[in-house]
Chains A and B, each alone.
Chain A
Amino acid sequence: MQTKRMSRREFLTLVGAASGAALLAACQPKVAPTATPKPTATPPPKPTATPLPKPTATPPPAAPVEVSFGYEPGGNIQAYYDVLFARAAEGLPGITIEPVVYPTYDDQLHLLPTQFAAGTAPAVIRWDNAAPWTQYAAEEVILPLNDLLKETAIDLNAFPKALVDGWTIDGKLYAIPMYLQNSAFVYNLDVLEEAGITTLPTSMQEVRQVAKTVKEKTGKSGLVILPNLFHIHQYILAFGGGWNYGRTINSPENVAGLQFLVDMFVEDETASTSQQLGTAWDGEAISLNKAAMSDGGPWYIGFMKAVAPNVRYSLLPIPTNQPGKFFVVTYGGGYSISSSAKDPVAAIKLVEFLSTEAAQEAIITTELGFVPAMTKFLDDYVAKTPEYAPFTESVLSQGRKLDYPPKMAEFETDLLAGFEQLVFRPGTTTVQELLDSLQSKYGQ
């Protein structure tokens, strides 16, 4: 076409075409949040069901009530719940379960706030207390269960005190424990051997030394970390710190712990994020022999067995800045009830059904990869899983808690942004500055 002066129509055309192309972009498939693989276990052989004992609670109302139950089906979780749901007709009379299945755990966490706002959150929610449940409790979108418990026969003494305390704020219990979870330190023995290291470190200072040796001798990363609140938290705790629900965000111990981590990145250049190593999470880096050490947990057991059975590794309590002293964080998964549940009593009945001894035992038989919350099943689990031996009852009972500040999601976002500034743009800020600003924003 010959060039002519731009008429009004042509202008609209151009603007429209341009905007149209914008929509082309907008209509392009949106993003898939690639989630950290949720700590889960191997694809299992068929589970053997154990017979269901009769429920000991008072019989529920006559008309069938529908209770929605939200969870994510990573690993064997779907198989586990299939077993339980099959028993529901007998064990949970008068109540039908409506499963709400989130594609991934990250999707669950991302979707829940919007669901709470819209009132569409499931009545019963399964999650672990690394989720922002304290925030939800503060906003009163999940219910305290102390009163509801009276309608059931759940005995909290069957669970370790640390677990129950982990779900309690100011005496109010917000979830019934389902499984035990703890943090640990992972050592890739193959990579360490390649660097000529034969004894494992007994303190964080030694960890730093080992990392340097690994980097020198093999060129591989001494330490790998997936940058999220949980993992950074381990290093804070290793130096004797803790968030204490927002009261001690910028304590000297926290500063020391975070500084240690940053130094390994910036000064020593022996640490990497999982992203830098081209992997989705720390476990993948360890399994591919790209790093020697990482913080992790029992979720490594099933993963390593499935993906890298020939890689030798060790799972042990986490070293601290005091030689010879170690720690773990003891936390776990549990069932909460949302305040938009139409029938809280039916909901707690469902929780009770999901928390019977048989359900707990099924955790082991379906090889869920979790440690059952009830103390009596811990020995069974250890018997089946020798890699878990270092985590004895005494170790776990002395475990630290996850004491995140109330506005956990926002706190995590800001902390991580600051952490990346410290690590990737050294000199723009200091650890003290970052923690001070977080204290003033999220402290209490």
Chain B
Amino acid sequence: MKNHSRRLLRGSARRSFMRRALPQMVARAGAGIRTGLIQFRSPRTRSEWSAGYALLLPALLLLVAWFLYPVAQLFLLSFQTVSKFHFSDRTFVGFANYAYLLKDPAFANSLRIVLVFVLLVVPAQTVLSLLLASVLQSVGRAKVVFRTAFFIPYMTSTVAVTTVFMQLFVAGAPAASAATVLGLPNRTWYADVKLALPFLVLVYVYMYIGLYIVTFVSGLQTIPRELYEAATVDGANAWARFRYVTVPGLRPFVLFVVVAGLIQAIQVFDQAYVITGGHVLGSPAGATATLVIYIYQQAFRLNALGYGSAAAVLLLLIVFLGTWLTRRILREE
């Protein structure tokens, strides 16, 4: 075992090693430790700790300075009103900001928009990416080319992609005209009250689907082929195989895609901002006013840093809640 593990494996050999032999090795290592065959922890604990802290130190310093400190300020600000021009000019107002938010119709509107957005985006991108990954998996070497094509939108600047989509969906432009075939009016999508949110959904799914396709493709690769063979022997057809082998095998990946998708979708901002050109946020008439747009507007346009911060804290709570709920629901199924 010792000699075997000393040899560094490369490339696909290592990948398949990690996928196949890993669980057994870990189990064996665990057993080894338990039976005391491999002594390694106790005499070195203290120097372990200092090594750990040493490795962690730069990260910790940066974390505190650039993340914790501003975020702590954020929490503080949510309980204060601040003068936009004189930051030292603050008054503590307790939960007044939160109370205001709960009464503000614009905040309620943002919550509603985000909810609709998430309910449209997450199922769509989960199902689509699963479908595409399944088809992709069954193709041979051309897989790499397609995978690259699907992943490219993810690597492109959000601004660039949204701008291009806007050009394509102006009344009379290629995409808007094509959509009239489906009975949709030939209007500028992102400037229409009913079509703006669907436009947002389209751009968003387009950008992120590549990531999830890749996730599922790798997930599909972890399902042992023997299970499929056993199912075929038992007389299962393609659909039955999909339902009883693929789907259960992909469960952790589906959970990842759904939860990750949820958290990302709740925080959508860039695309909604570009659509308005930075003028009337949430245009048209609040149809694209996502939660982070609301936060941004409060902090940067209405000079109400307190409200913006309180909304950000609420967003954090919503994300936690959403994650926990989703995990709960999908686990029980």
Identify which of B106, B171, B264, B282 contacts A22 (C-beta below 8 A).
B264
Asked if A275 and B190 sit within 8 Å, CB to CB, the answer is: yes
Interface size class of B (residues with CB under 8 A): 35 or more
Whether A26 sits at the interface, judged by CB under 8 Å, is: yes
Whether A306 sits at the interface, judged by CB under 8 Å, is: no
Asked if B85 and A417 sit within 8 Å, CB to CB, the answer is: no
Whether A420 sits at the interface, judged by CB under 8 Å, is: yes
Whether A206 sits at the interface, judged by CB under 8 Å, is: no
Residue among B83, B259, B261, B262 having the largest count of chain A Cβ atoms under 10 Å: B259
Residue among A25, A273, A413, A425 having the largest count of chain B Cβ atoms under 10 Å: A25
Asked if B252 and A424 sit within 8 Å, CB to CB, the answer is: no
Asked if B85 and A141 sit within 8 Å, CB to CB, the answer is: yes
Tell me the complex Cα distance, A277–B251, Å: 46
> What chain B residues lie within 8 Å of A33 (beta carbons)?
273, 277-278
Asked if B259 and A424 sit within 8 Å, CB to CB, the answer is: no
> What chain B residues lie within 8 Å of A407 (beta carbons)?
303
Identify which of A32, A118, A420 contacts B286 (C-beta below 8 A).
A420
Identify which of B172, B262, B280, B286 contacts A18 (C-beta below 8 A).
B262
Asked if B259 and A17 sit within 8 Å, CB to CB, the answer is: yes
> What chain B residues lie within 8 Å of A420 (beta carbons)?
280, 283-286
Of A109-117, A183-191, A256-264, A326-334, which stretch is located at the interface?
A109-117
A144 to chain B, nearest CB (A): 16
B321 to chain A, nearest CB (A): 12
Asked if B158 and A30 sit within 8 Å, CB to CB, the answer is: yes
Of B44-52, B142-150, B294-302, which stretch is located at the interface?
B294-302
Whether A307 sits at the interface, judged by CB under 8 Å, is: no
Identify which of A19, A25, A31, A425 contacts B285 (C-beta below 8 A).
A425
Asked if B193 and A14 sit within 8 Å, CB to CB, the answer is: no
Asked if B280 and A417 sit within 8 Å, CB to CB, the answer is: yes
Tell me the complex Cα distance, A25–B204, Å: 10
Which residues of chain A from 1 to 53 have a CB within 8 Å of any chain B CB? 1-3, 6, 10-11, 14-15, 17-22, 24-26, 28-36
Whether B15 sits at the interface, judged by CB under 8 Å, is: no
Whether B4 sits at the interface, judged by CB under 8 Å, is: no
Interface string of B282-318 (1 = CB under 8 A from A): 1111110000000001001111000000000000000
Whether B130 sits at the interface, judged by CB under 8 Å, is: no
Which residues of chain B from 65 to 113 have a CB within 8 Å of any chain A CB? 83-87, 106
Minimum CB distance partner of A11 in chain B: B327
Tell me the complex Cα distance, A179–B172, Å: 40
Identify which of B166, B187, B255, B270 contacts A28 (C-beta below 8 A).
B270
Minimum CB distance partner of A418 in chain B: B285
Whether B173 sits at the interface, judged by CB under 8 Å, is: yes
Tell me the complex Cα distance, A33–B297, Å: 13
Whether A410 sits at the interface, judged by CB under 8 Å, is: yes
Tell me the complex Cα distance, A34–B87, Å: 28
B256 to chain A, nearest CB (A): 5
With A14-B256, A25-B264, A227-B280 in contact, is A32–B159 under 8 Å at CB? yes
> What chain A residues lie within 8 Å of B84 (beta carbons)?
113, 117
Asked if A410 and B302 sit within 8 Å, CB to CB, the answer is: yes
Asked if B285 and A423 sit within 8 Å, CB to CB, the answer is: yes
Tell me the complex Cα distance, A26–B319, Å: 14
A265 to chain B, nearest CB (A): 11
Asked if B211 and A28 sit within 8 Å, CB to CB, the answer is: no
Tell me the complex Cα distance, A19–B259, Å: 8
> What chain B residues lie within 8 Å of A1 (beta carbons)?
222, 249, 252
Asked if A18 and B323 sit within 8 Å, CB to CB, the answer is: yes
With A18-B263, A24-B264, A425-B193 in contact, is A113–B85 under 8 Å at CB? yes
| Top 5 closest pairs, chain A to chain B, by CB | A278-B170, A33-B278, A21-B260, A18-B259, A424-B285
A-B contact pairs, 8 of them (CB 8 A): A11-B327, A14-B255, A15-B323, A21-B261, A29-B157, A30-B270, A278-B191, A420-B286
Beyond the given A18-B262, A276-B192, A413-B302, could you list 13 further A-B residue pairs with CB under 8 A, ordered by the A residue number? Answer: A14-B252, A24-B264, A26-B267, A32-B274, A117-B85, A136-B85, A139-B85, A277-B171, A278-B171, A409-B302, A420-B283, A421-B286, A424-B193
Residues on B facing A (Cβ under 8 Å) = 83-87, 106, 157-159, 163, 166-167, 170-173, 187-188, 190-193, 207-208, 211, 222, 248-249, 251-252, 255-256, 259-264, 267-270, 273-274, 276-287, 297, 300-303, 319, 323, 327, 331
